[in-house]
Amino acid sequence: MAIRIINHQTAVKGHVVLVLLVLLLFQTCRHRVAGLAPTVPATGQTKLMLKESLLIPSMDPEKEAKAMYEKALQQYGIYGKTLKEICKTWVTRGCQCTGTKEEVTLVCRGIGLDAVPADLPSELVKLDLSNNNITNLPNKSFDTLPNLEELILSHNKLDQIYSEAFFGLANLKKIALQNCGLASVPMEALKRVRTVISLQLDNNLIADMENVTFRGLHLLKSLRLEGNLLQRVPTEALIGLRSLEALNLGNNLLTVIKERDFPVLDNLYMLILRRNQLTEITSGALTNLTRLKVLDVDDNSLSSVPVGLENLMMLQEISASGNRIRWISKGDFPKNLVSLELKSNPLVGIKPGALQNMPRLRKLILSDVRGLNELPPLDGCASLEVLRIDRANLSKIPDHICKTSPRLKSL
């Protein structure tokens, strides 16, 4: 009686269940080979003996090992279902069910569900219930899904989300609640999923986040709130989000960004404020965002470049197209900028020095700036690769442009 432990390594690397199975296998083997290796407490020496006895060749060791493995699985009643078995009932209900038997993805989009199904398989890592008619998330709606990492509930009309709705989702990383008709943030429920990294609340009817706080969501990296009815930055909600990297407040009703609107957000590198009604971003309003790399304020009503951007030393990309900016002055932008888009602004002038000596600037978009009749000096912009200045009112292109920007590929 012998067996080769060929799968030992992969099993250890794999899932806990497999580790367990291997242990069980050892257990079984130990009984069987009792004549060869006495069952004494597993010290280093006995393990070695056990291993030796397990390696004595037989007629067909692999086949034998496999049979034994299967027997152990059955005997101990943890023979997992196959993917097909897990998926069967779901596929007949119109869902797509994919993955492996340990990690199942279930997509039940637009199949007319009016509640979260009760018998969801515990192997789920991703669940998509979007475009259904779910209106209510009672307490413990997902408590059989300890491994779930991604929960998509978009495009349901969620009228009620109870405080313990997400109870038991111990590994949830992403939750999508966009387009759910939410008039307020289901804060009580959300603040209990402390593992969440990505939270999507965009395209709802959230007008007020006065009393909302996400304090405790220490891992949250991405927060999407675009397409709501916010009239001011939800300052309270943002306090303590020390992992936050990307914040989208686009397409709301913001009119000004003031000092103290943004708490310290040490890791925020992307801020999207496009499509609001911003007329002003006051001086210093963004100073707490010391790591900001990307700022998007497209399609607002800003009449000038926000004051103080030059102090955001990490800033690499600014997009301020579709505003009412008329003048660009020296010192408006940080010198490390890589990309600057100012399309469709009523620019009448770019002051000397405003766009000079930006050694990393690769992209400059000045399309559709109809009032501009002179290209600004770009000396010291040696990295410039893309310069767009179509539909402006230029009468000439400076002849030294290719000398100052030798990498220019597209004009």
Ligand X SMILES: *[C@@H]1O[C@H](CO)[C@@H](O)[C@H](O)[C@H]1NC(C)=O
Binding site for ligand X (CB under 6 A): 110, 112, 132-133, 139, 162-164, 208, 210-211, 259-260, 262-264, 284, 287-288, 370-371, 373, 393, 395
Dihedral of CA 275/277/280/282: which sign? negative
Residue 211 or residue 301: which is nearer to ligand X going by CB?
211
Look up tokens 């920007």; give the residue: 405
The residue sitting closest to ligand X, measured at its beta carbon, is 112
**What's the CA gap between 62 and 250, in Å, rounded?**
60
Q: How far is the CB of 255 from ligand X (least distance, A)?
A: 17
**What's the CA gap between 8 and 16, in Å, rounded?**
13
Residue 112 or residue 331: which is nearer to ligand X going by CB?
112
Q: How far is the CB of 282 from ligand X (least distance, A)?
A: 9
Residue 141 or residue 200: which is nearer to ligand X going by CB?
141
Q: How far is the CB of 159 from ligand X (least distance, A)?
A: 13
Dihedral of CA 61/65/71/75: which sign? positive
Residue 322 or residue 362: which is nearer to ligand X going by CB?
322
Q: How far is the CB of 259 from ligand X (least distance, A)?
A: 4
Q: How far is the CB of 187 from ligand X (least distance, A)?
A: 10
Residue 281 or residue 340: which is nearer to ligand X going by CB?
281
Q: How far is the CB of 316 from ligand X (least distance, A)?
A: 21
**What's the CA gap between 190 and 169, in Å, rounded?**
11
Q: Are 291 and 314 in contact (CB under 8 A)?
A: yes
Q: Phi and psi of 13, rounded to 5°?
A: -65, -30
**What's the CA gap between 259 and 238, in Å, rounded?**
14
Residue 99 or residue 284: which is nearer to ligand X going by CB?
284
204: three-class secondary structure by DSSP: coil
**What's the CA gap between 312 and 288, in Å, rounded?**
9
